[in-house]
Structure 1
Amino acid sequence: MKSVLLYIADDAGLEARLQAALDLTRSVGGHLHCLRANPYNPQMAFDGVTGMSVMYDISKLAREQDEKLRAEIEKRLAGEGVSWDYREENVDPSRGLSKNSALVDIIVLSSASGEKDAALPLGILGDVLFNATAPVVVQPDNVKKFDACGPALVAWNGSLEAGNALRAAVPLLKMSSDVHILTVEEDKDHDLPQLSASEYLAYHGIKSEIHSPPAGEGPVEATLLAEAKNVKAEYIVMGAYGHSRAREFLFGGVTRNLFKNCHIPLVVSH
Protein backbone atom coordinates (compact mmCIF):
# COMPACT_ATOMS: atom_id res chain seq x y z
CA MET A 1 0.00 0.00 0.00
CA LYS A 2 1.85 3.07 -1.27
CA SER A 3 -0.66 5.33 -3.00
CA VAL A 4 -3.28 7.39 -1.10
CA LEU A 5 -6.05 9.32 -2.89
CA LEU A 6 -7.53 12.29 -1.01
CA TYR A 7 -10.77 14.04 -1.98
CA ILE A 8 -10.29 17.81 -1.90
CA ALA A 9 -13.36 19.97 -1.28
CA ASP A 10 -13.89 23.05 0.87
CA ASP A 11 -16.25 21.40 3.33
CA ALA A 12 -16.51 20.64 7.05
CA GLY A 13 -14.60 17.37 6.75
CA LEU A 14 -11.56 18.60 4.80
CA GLU A 15 -9.20 19.08 7.76
CA ALA A 16 -9.97 15.62 9.18
CA ARG A 17 -9.56 14.00 5.74
CA LEU A 18 -6.29 15.80 5.15
CA GLN A 19 -4.82 14.80 8.52
CA ALA A 20 -5.91 11.19 8.05
CA ALA A 21 -4.42 11.06 4.55
CA LEU A 22 -1.14 12.54 5.76
CA ASP A 23 -0.96 10.03 8.62
CA LEU A 24 -1.65 7.16 6.23
CA THR A 25 0.91 8.36 3.70
CA ARG A 26 3.59 8.66 6.36
CA SER A 27 2.74 5.24 7.83
CA VAL A 28 3.18 3.45 4.52
CA GLY A 29 6.01 5.64 3.21
CA GLY A 30 3.87 6.39 0.19
CA HIS A 31 2.60 9.14 -2.10
CA LEU A 32 -0.44 11.36 -1.57
CA HIS A 33 -2.64 12.18 -4.57
CA CYS A 34 -4.94 15.16 -3.97
CA LEU A 35 -7.96 15.33 -6.29
CA ARG A 36 -10.13 18.41 -6.64
CA ALA A 37 -13.13 17.37 -8.73
CA ASN A 38 -15.44 20.19 -9.79
CA PRO A 39 -18.16 19.76 -12.45
CA TYR A 40 -18.41 23.47 -13.34
CA ASN A 41 -16.73 24.00 -16.72
CA PRO A 42 -16.98 27.32 -18.64
CA GLN A 43 -16.92 25.41 -21.94
CA MET A 44 -20.33 23.94 -21.09
CA ALA A 45 -22.10 27.33 -20.93
CA PHE A 46 -23.89 27.50 -24.30
CA ASP A 47 -27.63 27.58 -23.52
CA GLY A 48 -28.75 30.96 -24.87
CA VAL A 49 -27.54 34.40 -23.90
CA THR A 50 -28.98 34.45 -20.38
CA GLY A 51 -28.10 30.84 -19.61
CA MET A 52 -24.57 31.29 -20.87
CA SER A 53 -24.09 34.38 -18.71
CA VAL A 54 -25.31 32.64 -15.58
CA MET A 55 -23.20 29.57 -16.23
CA TYR A 56 -20.16 31.71 -16.93
CA ASP A 57 -20.61 33.55 -13.62
CA ILE A 58 -20.91 30.27 -11.75
CA SER A 59 -17.86 28.86 -13.51
CA LYS A 60 -15.82 31.98 -12.82
CA LEU A 61 -16.69 31.87 -9.13
CA ALA A 62 -15.89 28.15 -8.99
CA ARG A 63 -12.53 28.77 -10.68
CA GLU A 64 -11.62 31.47 -8.16
CA GLN A 65 -12.56 29.20 -5.27
CA ASP A 66 -10.56 26.35 -6.78
CA GLU A 67 -7.47 28.55 -7.10
CA LYS A 68 -7.77 29.74 -3.51
CA LEU A 69 -8.26 26.22 -2.19
CA ARG A 70 -5.35 24.87 -4.22
CA ALA A 71 -3.02 27.59 -2.93
CA GLU A 72 -4.00 26.81 0.67
CA ILE A 73 -3.56 23.05 0.29
CA GLU A 74 -0.25 23.31 -1.58
CA LYS A 75 1.13 25.70 1.03
CA ARG A 76 0.11 23.27 3.73
CA LEU A 77 1.54 20.20 2.01
CA ALA A 78 4.85 21.92 1.31
CA GLY A 79 5.67 21.72 5.00
CA GLU A 80 4.40 18.21 5.74
CA GLY A 81 7.38 16.20 4.51
CA VAL A 82 5.43 13.79 2.29
CA SER A 83 5.48 13.08 -1.42
CA TRP A 84 2.36 14.54 -3.05
CA ASP A 85 0.68 15.88 -6.17
CA TYR A 86 -2.46 17.99 -6.73
CA ARG A 87 -4.84 17.40 -9.61
CA GLU A 88 -7.96 19.23 -10.76
CA GLU A 89 -10.64 17.72 -12.98
CA ASN A 90 -13.89 19.12 -14.37
CA VAL A 91 -15.97 16.11 -13.35
CA ASP A 92 -18.50 15.01 -10.78
CA PRO A 93 -16.63 14.09 -7.55
CA SER A 94 -17.91 10.51 -7.49
CA ARG A 95 -16.93 9.94 -11.10
CA GLY A 96 -13.52 11.56 -10.64
CA LEU A 97 -12.68 9.55 -7.53
CA SER A 98 -13.85 6.27 -9.02
CA LYS A 99 -11.91 6.84 -12.23
CA ASN A 100 -8.72 7.74 -10.38
CA SER A 101 -9.01 4.76 -8.05
CA ALA A 102 -7.64 2.40 -10.70
CA LEU A 103 -4.03 3.05 -9.70
CA VAL A 104 -4.28 3.95 -6.02
CA ASP A 105 -4.31 1.70 -2.96
CA ILE A 106 -6.74 3.54 -0.69
CA ILE A 107 -9.13 6.52 -0.83
CA VAL A 108 -9.87 8.98 1.98
CA LEU A 109 -13.41 10.39 2.17
CA SER A 110 -15.55 11.94 4.90
CA SER A 111 -18.36 10.28 6.79
CA ALA A 112 -21.80 11.82 7.19
CA SER A 113 -21.12 12.59 10.84
CA GLY A 114 -20.64 16.33 10.54
CA GLU A 115 -23.25 17.26 7.94
CA LYS A 116 -26.74 18.47 8.81
CA ASP A 117 -27.84 17.22 5.41
CA ALA A 118 -26.08 13.89 4.93
CA ALA A 119 -27.29 13.33 1.35
CA LEU A 120 -24.12 14.64 -0.33
CA PRO A 121 -21.47 12.68 1.63
CA LEU A 122 -23.62 9.54 1.58
CA GLY A 123 -24.16 9.92 -2.16
CA ILE A 124 -20.44 10.27 -2.84
CA LEU A 125 -19.62 7.32 -0.56
CA GLY A 126 -22.20 5.13 -2.26
CA ASP A 127 -21.04 5.87 -5.78
CA VAL A 128 -17.34 5.52 -4.93
CA LEU A 129 -17.72 2.30 -2.92
CA PHE A 130 -19.63 0.62 -5.73
CA ASN A 131 -17.42 1.84 -8.58
CA ALA A 132 -13.91 2.25 -7.16
CA THR A 133 -11.30 -0.48 -7.15
CA ALA A 134 -9.69 0.58 -3.85
CA PRO A 135 -10.89 0.46 -0.24
CA VAL A 136 -12.17 3.68 1.32
CA VAL A 137 -11.28 5.31 4.63
CA VAL A 138 -14.48 6.91 5.95
CA GLN A 139 -13.19 9.64 8.26
CA PRO A 140 -15.37 11.34 10.92
CA ASP A 141 -15.21 15.13 10.73
CA ASN A 142 -14.08 15.48 14.35
CA VAL A 143 -11.26 12.91 14.17
CA LYS A 144 -8.11 14.54 12.82
CA LYS A 145 -5.81 11.51 12.72
CA PHE A 146 -5.45 7.96 11.44
CA ASP A 147 -3.31 5.70 13.60
CA ALA A 148 -2.41 2.74 11.40
CA CYS A 149 -0.25 1.26 14.15
CA GLY A 150 -2.94 1.17 16.85
CA PRO A 151 -5.45 -1.62 17.57
CA ALA A 152 -7.91 -2.50 14.79
CA LEU A 153 -11.32 -4.12 14.88
CA VAL A 154 -12.56 -6.28 11.98
CA ALA A 155 -16.33 -6.68 11.60
CA TRP A 156 -16.91 -10.21 10.32
CA ASN A 157 -20.17 -11.86 9.28
CA GLY A 158 -18.91 -14.27 6.62
CA SER A 159 -20.18 -12.24 3.67
CA LEU A 160 -18.42 -11.57 0.38
CA GLU A 161 -18.25 -7.87 1.23
CA ALA A 162 -16.61 -8.59 4.59
CA GLY A 163 -14.08 -10.81 2.85
CA ASN A 164 -13.27 -8.11 0.31
CA ALA A 165 -12.79 -5.57 3.10
CA LEU A 166 -10.53 -7.89 5.09
CA ARG A 167 -8.35 -8.70 2.08
CA ALA A 168 -8.00 -5.02 1.11
CA ALA A 169 -7.03 -4.05 4.66
CA VAL A 170 -4.19 -6.57 5.08
CA PRO A 171 -1.40 -3.98 4.52
CA LEU A 172 -2.89 -1.83 7.30
CA LEU A 173 -3.56 -4.74 9.64
CA LYS A 174 0.08 -5.80 9.35
CA MET A 175 0.99 -2.50 11.04
CA SER A 176 -1.64 -2.74 13.79
CA SER A 177 -0.49 -3.43 17.34
CA ASP A 178 -3.50 -5.70 17.94
CA VAL A 179 -6.13 -7.10 15.57
CA HIS A 180 -9.54 -8.04 16.94
CA ILE A 181 -12.22 -9.84 14.93
CA LEU A 182 -15.81 -9.35 16.00
CA THR A 183 -18.03 -12.09 14.61
CA VAL A 184 -21.59 -10.94 14.01
CA GLU A 185 -24.42 -13.33 13.29
CA GLU A 186 -27.14 -11.95 11.03
CA ASP A 187 -30.35 -13.35 9.56
CA LYS A 188 -28.64 -13.86 6.21
CA ASP A 189 -27.06 -16.82 4.46
CA HIS A 190 -23.31 -16.23 4.17
CA ASP A 191 -20.78 -18.71 2.84
CA LEU A 192 -17.69 -18.07 4.97
CA PRO A 193 -17.39 -19.51 8.52
CA GLN A 194 -16.46 -17.55 11.63
CA LEU A 195 -12.86 -18.77 11.82
CA SER A 196 -12.02 -18.09 8.16
CA ALA A 197 -11.11 -14.45 8.81
CA SER A 198 -8.62 -15.35 11.51
CA GLU A 199 -7.15 -18.16 9.41
CA TYR A 200 -6.74 -15.85 6.41
CA LEU A 201 -4.91 -13.26 8.48
CA ALA A 202 -2.65 -15.96 9.92
CA TYR A 203 -1.50 -16.80 6.37
CA HIS A 204 -0.21 -13.21 6.22
CA GLY A 205 1.54 -13.47 9.58
CA ILE A 206 -1.12 -11.43 11.38
CA LYS A 207 -2.23 -12.63 14.81
CA SER A 208 -5.81 -11.90 15.75
CA GLU A 209 -8.21 -12.34 18.63
CA ILE A 210 -11.80 -13.43 18.00
CA HIS A 211 -14.70 -11.89 19.91
CA SER A 212 -18.10 -13.59 19.63
CA PRO A 213 -20.86 -11.79 21.54
CA PRO A 214 -24.12 -13.68 22.10
CA ALA A 215 -26.66 -13.25 19.32
CA GLY A 216 -29.56 -10.88 19.88
CA GLU A 217 -27.70 -8.54 22.25
CA GLY A 218 -28.87 -5.44 20.39
CA PRO A 219 -28.35 -3.66 17.05
CA VAL A 220 -25.25 -4.75 15.14
CA GLU A 221 -23.88 -1.20 14.93
CA ALA A 222 -24.22 -0.74 18.70
CA THR A 223 -22.33 -4.00 19.29
CA LEU A 224 -19.57 -2.91 16.91
CA LEU A 225 -19.19 0.50 18.53
CA ALA A 226 -19.15 -0.97 22.03
CA GLU A 227 -16.51 -3.54 21.10
CA ALA A 228 -14.40 -0.91 19.32
CA LYS A 229 -14.41 1.15 22.51
CA ASN A 230 -13.65 -1.92 24.63
CA VAL A 231 -10.53 -2.88 22.63
CA LYS A 232 -9.51 0.77 22.13
CA ALA A 233 -9.61 0.33 18.35
CA GLU A 234 -8.24 3.14 16.20
CA TYR A 235 -10.29 2.02 13.20
CA ILE A 236 -12.84 -0.58 12.07
CA VAL A 237 -12.57 -2.74 8.94
CA MET A 238 -15.95 -3.65 7.45
CA GLY A 239 -17.83 -4.50 4.29
CA ALA A 240 -20.49 -2.12 2.96
CA TYR A 241 -23.97 -3.23 2.06
CA GLY A 242 -26.63 -1.53 -0.02
CA HIS A 243 -30.02 -1.91 -1.62
CA SER A 244 -30.05 0.83 -4.26
CA ARG A 245 -27.65 2.17 -6.87
CA ALA A 246 -29.35 5.54 -7.13
CA ARG A 247 -27.24 8.69 -7.17
CA GLU A 248 -28.07 9.41 -3.53
CA PHE A 249 -27.30 5.96 -2.29
CA LEU A 250 -29.39 4.20 0.36
CA PHE A 251 -27.12 1.97 2.42
CA GLY A 252 -28.18 -0.91 4.54
CA GLY A 253 -29.01 0.14 8.08
CA VAL A 254 -25.76 -0.94 9.73
CA THR A 255 -23.52 0.77 7.19
CA ARG A 256 -25.59 3.95 7.09
CA ASN A 257 -25.74 4.27 10.87
CA LEU A 258 -22.01 3.72 11.25
CA PHE A 259 -21.25 6.33 8.59
CA LYS A 260 -23.23 8.81 10.68
CA ASN A 261 -22.37 7.76 14.22
CA CYS A 262 -18.99 6.00 14.34
CA HIS A 263 -16.45 7.86 16.48
CA ILE A 264 -13.39 6.33 14.75
CA PRO A 265 -12.42 5.88 11.07
CA LEU A 266 -13.86 3.03 9.04
CA VAL A 267 -11.95 1.14 6.35
CA VAL A 268 -14.66 -0.02 3.97
CA SER A 269 -14.92 -2.12 0.82
CA HIS A 270 -17.83 -3.49 -1.17
Structure 2
Amino acid sequence: MSVRKILVPLAGRTEDDEVLATALSVARGFGAQLVGLFARPDPTEALPYLGDGVSGQVIEDLMQAAREGADQASRRVKTALERIATEAGVAVAQKGGEPVLPSVRFLDVTGRRDDVVAAHSRLSDLIVFGEGTTGVAGGTALEAAMMSAGRPVLIAPKKAWDPVGGSVCIGWDESAEAARAVTAAIPFLEKAKKVTILCIGGKELDPAPGSTLADYLELHGVVADLHLVDAAGRAAGEVLLEQAEKAKTDLLVMGGYSHSRLLEFIIGGATQHVRSHATIPVLMAH
Protein backbone atom coordinates (compact mmCIF):
# COMPACT_ATOMS: atom_id res chain seq x y z
CA MET A 1 0.00 0.00 0.00
CA SER A 2 1.29 3.44 -0.87
CA VAL A 3 0.17 7.05 -1.14
CA ARG A 4 1.24 8.67 -4.40
CA LYS A 5 -1.52 11.17 -5.26
CA ILE A 6 -3.17 13.50 -2.75
CA LEU A 7 -6.05 15.62 -4.03
CA VAL A 8 -6.87 18.92 -2.31
CA PRO A 9 -10.04 20.74 -3.47
CA LEU A 10 -9.48 24.49 -3.06
CA ALA A 11 -11.63 27.59 -3.47
CA GLY A 12 -9.16 30.48 -3.32
CA ARG A 13 -9.89 31.45 0.30
CA THR A 14 -7.41 32.36 3.04
CA GLU A 15 -8.15 29.01 4.74
CA ASP A 16 -6.51 27.26 1.78
CA ASP A 17 -3.02 27.98 3.16
CA GLU A 18 -3.55 25.85 6.27
CA VAL A 19 -5.05 22.85 4.52
CA LEU A 20 -2.32 23.06 1.86
CA ALA A 21 0.39 23.06 4.52
CA THR A 22 -1.13 19.97 6.15
CA ALA A 23 -1.56 18.17 2.82
CA LEU A 24 2.00 19.03 1.79
CA SER A 25 3.41 17.61 5.02
CA VAL A 26 1.61 14.33 4.20
CA ALA A 27 2.81 14.44 0.57
CA ARG A 28 6.42 14.95 1.62
CA GLY A 29 6.18 12.16 4.19
CA PHE A 30 5.02 9.67 1.57
CA GLY A 31 6.89 11.04 -1.44
CA ALA A 32 3.58 11.86 -3.14
CA GLN A 33 2.20 14.46 -5.52
CA LEU A 34 -0.20 17.05 -4.12
CA VAL A 35 -2.80 18.08 -6.69
CA GLY A 36 -4.52 21.38 -5.94
CA LEU A 37 -7.93 21.25 -7.62
CA PHE A 38 -9.97 24.36 -8.40
CA ALA A 39 -13.51 23.61 -9.59
CA ARG A 40 -14.51 26.51 -11.82
CA PRO A 41 -18.28 27.17 -11.89
CA ASP A 42 -19.82 27.10 -15.37
CA PRO A 43 -21.76 30.41 -15.61
CA THR A 44 -24.07 29.00 -18.29
CA GLU A 45 -25.59 26.62 -15.72
CA ALA A 46 -27.23 29.61 -14.01
CA LEU A 47 -29.08 30.73 -17.16
CA PRO A 48 -32.28 28.68 -16.58
CA TYR A 49 -32.74 30.44 -13.23
CA LEU A 50 -32.57 34.00 -14.59
CA GLY A 51 -36.07 34.02 -16.09
CA ASP A 52 -37.38 35.07 -19.47
CA GLY A 53 -37.52 38.79 -18.76
CA VAL A 54 -33.77 39.30 -18.35
CA SER A 55 -32.13 41.11 -21.28
CA GLY A 56 -29.26 39.66 -23.25
CA GLN A 57 -26.92 42.41 -22.07
CA VAL A 58 -27.68 41.72 -18.41
CA ILE A 59 -27.05 38.02 -18.98
CA GLU A 60 -23.72 38.75 -20.67
CA ASP A 61 -22.68 41.11 -17.85
CA LEU A 62 -23.54 38.50 -15.22
CA MET A 63 -21.63 35.77 -17.05
CA GLN A 64 -18.61 38.02 -17.52
CA ALA A 65 -18.61 38.90 -13.81
CA ALA A 66 -18.80 35.19 -12.95
CA ARG A 67 -15.88 34.41 -15.28
CA GLU A 68 -13.76 37.20 -13.80
CA GLY A 69 -14.54 36.06 -10.24
CA ALA A 70 -13.54 32.50 -11.11
CA ASP A 71 -10.34 33.74 -12.79
CA GLN A 72 -9.37 35.62 -9.64
CA ALA A 73 -10.08 32.65 -7.37
CA SER A 74 -8.14 30.33 -9.66
CA ARG A 75 -5.13 32.64 -9.62
CA ARG A 76 -5.23 32.77 -5.82
CA VAL A 77 -5.23 28.95 -5.64
CA LYS A 78 -2.36 28.64 -8.12
CA THR A 79 -0.33 31.33 -6.35
CA ALA A 80 -0.86 29.76 -2.91
CA LEU A 81 0.10 26.33 -4.24
CA GLU A 82 3.30 27.58 -5.90
CA ARG A 83 4.25 29.69 -2.86
CA ILE A 84 3.94 26.83 -0.38
CA ALA A 85 5.85 24.51 -2.72
CA THR A 86 8.68 27.05 -3.07
CA GLU A 87 8.88 27.57 0.69
CA ALA A 88 9.08 23.80 1.24
CA GLY A 89 11.56 23.22 -1.58
CA VAL A 90 9.13 20.95 -3.43
CA ALA A 91 8.97 20.81 -7.23
CA VAL A 92 6.02 22.22 -9.18
CA ALA A 93 5.06 19.58 -11.75
CA GLN A 94 4.63 20.75 -15.32
CA LYS A 95 2.14 19.26 -17.77
CA GLY A 96 3.91 16.75 -19.98
CA GLY A 97 7.08 16.86 -17.89
CA GLU A 98 8.87 13.99 -16.19
CA PRO A 99 7.12 12.88 -12.97
CA VAL A 100 8.91 14.14 -9.86
CA LEU A 101 8.03 13.12 -6.30
CA PRO A 102 7.26 14.78 -4.01
CA SER A 103 5.73 17.58 -6.04
CA VAL A 104 2.68 19.80 -6.43
CA ARG A 105 0.41 20.25 -9.43
CA PHE A 106 -2.43 22.66 -10.20
CA LEU A 107 -5.70 21.71 -11.91
CA ASP A 108 -8.42 24.14 -13.04
CA VAL A 109 -11.54 22.21 -14.10
CA THR A 110 -14.93 23.63 -15.11
CA GLY A 111 -18.03 22.01 -13.65
CA ARG A 112 -20.17 21.53 -10.54
CA ARG A 113 -17.79 21.29 -7.59
CA ASP A 114 -19.15 18.01 -6.20
CA ASP A 115 -19.05 16.35 -9.62
CA VAL A 116 -15.52 17.59 -10.35
CA VAL A 117 -14.23 16.49 -6.94
CA ALA A 118 -15.85 13.06 -7.25
CA ALA A 119 -14.44 12.51 -10.75
CA HIS A 120 -10.88 13.44 -9.78
CA SER A 121 -11.08 11.60 -6.46
CA ARG A 122 -11.53 8.22 -8.12
CA LEU A 123 -7.87 8.08 -9.12
CA SER A 124 -6.48 9.68 -5.97
CA ASP A 125 -5.13 7.89 -2.92
CA LEU A 126 -6.32 10.49 -0.42
CA ILE A 127 -8.49 13.62 -0.57
CA VAL A 128 -7.78 16.38 1.96
CA PHE A 129 -10.40 18.90 3.09
CA GLY A 130 -10.23 21.90 5.39
CA GLU A 131 -13.03 23.18 7.59
CA GLY A 132 -14.69 25.30 4.92
CA THR A 133 -17.29 27.93 5.76
CA THR A 134 -20.34 25.80 6.59
CA GLY A 135 -19.27 24.53 10.02
CA VAL A 136 -19.14 20.96 8.67
CA ALA A 137 -15.72 20.00 7.33
CA GLY A 138 -15.57 19.54 3.57
CA GLY A 139 -19.26 20.21 2.88
CA THR A 140 -20.99 18.12 0.25
CA ALA A 141 -17.75 17.76 -1.73
CA LEU A 142 -16.36 15.57 1.06
CA GLU A 143 -19.38 13.30 0.78
CA ALA A 144 -18.90 13.18 -3.00
CA ALA A 145 -15.29 12.06 -2.57
CA MET A 146 -15.98 9.56 0.20
CA MET A 147 -19.31 8.11 -0.89
CA SER A 148 -19.67 8.67 -4.64
CA ALA A 149 -16.00 8.08 -5.46
CA GLY A 150 -15.37 5.63 -2.60
CA ARG A 151 -12.08 7.19 -1.55
CA PRO A 152 -10.66 7.90 1.93
CA VAL A 153 -10.71 11.54 3.02
CA LEU A 154 -8.60 13.47 5.49
CA ILE A 155 -10.14 16.33 7.45
CA ALA A 156 -7.46 18.89 8.35
CA PRO A 157 -8.95 21.33 10.87
CA LYS A 158 -7.89 24.48 12.70
CA LYS A 159 -4.23 24.85 11.72
CA ALA A 160 -1.36 23.55 9.63
CA TRP A 161 -0.51 20.05 10.92
CA ASP A 162 3.00 18.63 10.67
CA PRO A 163 3.40 15.76 11.18
CA VAL A 164 0.13 13.94 10.61
CA GLY A 165 0.06 10.44 12.06
CA GLY A 166 2.87 10.42 14.59
CA SER A 167 0.31 9.21 17.12
CA VAL A 168 -2.82 7.52 15.74
CA CYS A 169 -6.12 6.55 17.38
CA ILE A 170 -8.49 4.15 15.63
CA GLY A 171 -12.20 4.28 16.41
CA TRP A 172 -13.16 0.60 16.05
CA ASP A 173 -16.74 -0.69 15.96
CA GLU A 174 -16.33 -3.71 13.61
CA SER A 175 -18.26 -1.95 10.83
CA ALA A 176 -17.31 -2.29 7.17
CA GLU A 177 -16.72 1.46 7.10
CA ALA A 178 -14.26 1.30 10.00
CA ALA A 179 -12.46 -1.62 8.34
CA ARG A 180 -12.08 0.38 5.10
CA ALA A 181 -10.73 3.32 7.08
CA VAL A 182 -8.15 1.08 8.77
CA THR A 183 -6.93 -0.43 5.51
CA ALA A 184 -6.75 3.04 3.91
CA ALA A 185 -4.72 4.25 6.90
CA ILE A 186 -2.14 1.44 6.78
CA PRO A 187 0.57 3.73 5.28
CA PHE A 188 0.09 6.09 8.25
CA LEU A 189 -0.10 3.26 10.79
CA GLU A 190 3.12 1.65 9.55
CA LYS A 191 4.99 4.92 10.19
CA ALA A 192 3.28 5.90 13.47
CA LYS A 193 5.20 5.96 16.73
CA LYS A 194 2.08 5.11 18.73
CA VAL A 195 -1.21 3.44 17.73
CA THR A 196 -4.24 3.14 20.01
CA ILE A 197 -7.44 1.20 19.29
CA LEU A 198 -10.49 2.82 20.90
CA CYS A 199 -13.62 0.71 21.35
CA ILE A 200 -16.52 2.80 22.64
CA GLY A 201 -19.48 1.12 24.31
CA GLY A 202 -21.06 0.17 27.64
CA LYS A 203 -19.58 -1.25 30.83
CA GLU A 204 -19.63 -4.83 29.49
CA LEU A 205 -17.71 -4.02 26.31
CA ASP A 206 -16.25 -7.15 24.68
CA PRO A 207 -12.47 -6.86 24.08
CA ALA A 208 -12.47 -9.55 21.36
CA PRO A 209 -13.18 -7.28 18.34
CA GLY A 210 -10.42 -4.87 19.34
CA SER A 211 -8.02 -7.76 19.87
CA THR A 212 -8.85 -9.09 16.40
CA LEU A 213 -7.94 -5.71 14.91
CA ALA A 214 -4.71 -5.61 16.94
CA ASP A 215 -3.79 -9.06 15.56
CA TYR A 216 -4.44 -7.84 12.00
CA LEU A 217 -2.31 -4.74 12.49
CA GLU A 218 0.52 -6.83 13.94
CA LEU A 219 0.77 -8.63 10.59
CA HIS A 220 1.57 -5.20 9.11
CA GLY A 221 4.25 -4.63 11.71
CA VAL A 222 2.03 -2.28 13.73
CA VAL A 223 1.83 -2.72 17.50
CA ALA A 224 -1.37 -1.20 18.91
CA ASP A 225 -2.68 -0.66 22.42
CA LEU A 226 -6.35 -1.50 23.06
CA HIS A 227 -8.52 0.81 25.16
CA LEU A 228 -12.12 -0.11 26.05
CA VAL A 229 -14.07 3.05 26.88
CA ASP A 230 -17.41 3.17 28.69
CA ALA A 231 -19.40 5.91 26.97
CA ALA A 232 -21.65 6.23 30.04
CA GLY A 233 -24.62 7.05 27.85
CA ARG A 234 -22.84 9.77 25.87
CA ALA A 235 -22.71 9.95 22.07
CA ALA A 236 -19.97 7.82 20.52
CA GLY A 237 -18.60 10.66 18.36
CA GLU A 238 -18.23 12.94 21.36
CA VAL A 239 -16.41 10.29 23.42
CA LEU A 240 -14.21 9.29 20.47
CA LEU A 241 -12.98 12.86 19.92
CA GLU A 242 -12.50 13.40 23.63
CA GLN A 243 -10.38 10.26 24.01
CA ALA A 244 -8.31 11.00 20.89
CA GLU A 245 -7.61 14.56 22.02
CA LYS A 246 -6.76 13.39 25.54
CA ALA A 247 -4.19 10.99 24.04
CA LYS A 248 -2.60 13.95 22.14
CA THR A 249 -3.30 12.17 18.87
CA ASP A 250 -2.50 13.84 15.56
CA LEU A 251 -4.64 11.44 13.50
CA LEU A 252 -8.00 9.82 14.25
CA VAL A 253 -9.04 6.95 11.96
CA MET A 254 -12.74 6.06 11.75
CA GLY A 255 -15.49 4.85 9.46
CA GLY A 256 -17.80 7.43 7.96
CA TYR A 257 -21.60 7.20 7.66
CA SER A 258 -22.22 3.73 9.02
CA HIS A 259 -25.84 4.97 9.03
CA SER A 260 -27.40 6.81 6.10
CA ARG A 261 -26.56 10.49 5.61
CA LEU A 262 -30.22 11.40 6.08
CA LEU A 263 -30.45 9.55 9.39
CA GLU A 264 -27.22 11.15 10.61
CA PHE A 265 -28.54 14.58 9.61
CA ILE A 266 -31.86 14.06 11.39
CA ILE A 267 -30.81 12.38 14.63
CA GLY A 268 -27.10 13.09 14.64
CA GLY A 269 -24.29 10.56 14.55
CA ALA A 270 -20.58 10.04 15.06
CA THR A 271 -19.68 11.18 11.55
CA GLN A 272 -21.61 14.44 11.72
CA HIS A 273 -20.32 15.19 15.22
CA VAL A 274 -16.69 14.63 14.26
CA ARG A 275 -17.01 16.64 11.04
CA SER A 276 -18.46 19.54 13.02
CA HIS A 277 -16.20 19.42 16.08
CA ALA A 278 -12.85 17.85 15.13
CA THR A 279 -9.77 19.72 16.33
CA ILE A 280 -7.32 17.08 15.09
CA PRO A 281 -6.84 15.49 11.65
CA VAL A 282 -9.35 12.72 10.92
CA LEU A 283 -9.10 10.03 8.26
CA MET A 284 -12.51 8.67 7.24
CA ALA A 285 -13.69 6.08 4.77
CA HIS A 286 -17.14 4.77 3.86
Tell me which residue corresponds to 2:111: 91
How far does residue 35 in structure 1 lie from its aligned partner after superposition? 0.8
Tell me which residue corresponds to 2:251: 235
| Residues 104 and 261 of structure 1, relative CA distance in 2, 3 Å threshold | same
Distance 1:53 1:232 in 2: 52
Distance 2:216 2:155 in 1: 24
Indicate whether 1:57 and 2:73 are aligned. no
Indicate whether 1:122 and 2:136 are aligned. no
Deviations 1:64-121 (A, max 9, x none): 3322432343233233222111110002222222111222211110236xx3x43684
The range that moved more, 35-44 or 81-90, is: 35-44
CA RMSD of aligned residues (A): 2.7
Distance 1:158 1:68 in 2: 43
Distance 1:266 1:101 in 2: 17
How far does residue 54 in structure 1 lie from its aligned partner after superposition? 1.5
One-letter amino acid matched to 2:149: A
Q: What stretches of structure 1 of length at least 5 have no aligned partner?
A: 187-191
Distance 1:205 1:220 in 2: 29
Tell me which residue corresponds to 1:189: none
Tell me which residue corresponds to 2:125: 105
Matched-pair identity in %: 24
One-letter amino acid matched to 1:34: G
How far does residue 250 in structure 1 lie from its aligned partner after superposition? 3.4
3-state SS, counterpart of residue 213 of structure 1: strand
Indicate whether 1:80 and 2:88 are aligned. yes
Tell me which residue corresponds to 1:255: 271
Contact 2:231/2:239 (CA < 8 Å) preserved in 1? no
Contact 1:148/1:176 (CA < 8 Å) preserved in 2? no
Tell me which residue corresponds to 1:16: 18
One-letter amino acid matched to 1:135: P
Distance 1:149 1:264 in 2: 10
Distance 1:59 1:7 in 2: 19
Tell me which residue corresponds to 2:200: 184
Deviations 1:186-211 (A, max 9, x none): 8xxxxx93323212211211110110
Indicate whether 1:195 and 2:203 are aligned. no
Distance 1:206 1:172 in 2: 10
| Residues 68 and 222 of structure 1, relative CA distance in 2, 3 Å threshold | closer
Contact 1:45/1:56 (CA < 8 Å) preserved in 2? no
Tell me which residue corresponds to 2:100: none
Distance 1:125 1:199 in 2: 31
One-letter amino acid matched to 1:203: L
How far does residue 175 in structure 1 lie from its aligned partner after superposition? 0.8
| Residues 151 and 217 of structure 1, relative CA distance in 2, 3 Å threshold | farther
The range that moved more, 98-107 or 10-19, is: 10-19
Higher gyration radius (CA)? 2
| Residues 43 and 127 of structure 1, relative CA distance in 2, 3 Å threshold | closer
How far does residue 149 in structure 1 lie from its aligned partner after superposition? 4.6
Distance 2:274 2:165 in 1: 22
Distance 2:233 2:18 in 1: 33
Distance 2:69 2:36 in 1: 21
One-letter amino acid matched to 1:263: T
Alignment match of 1:206 (pick from 217, 222, 243): 222
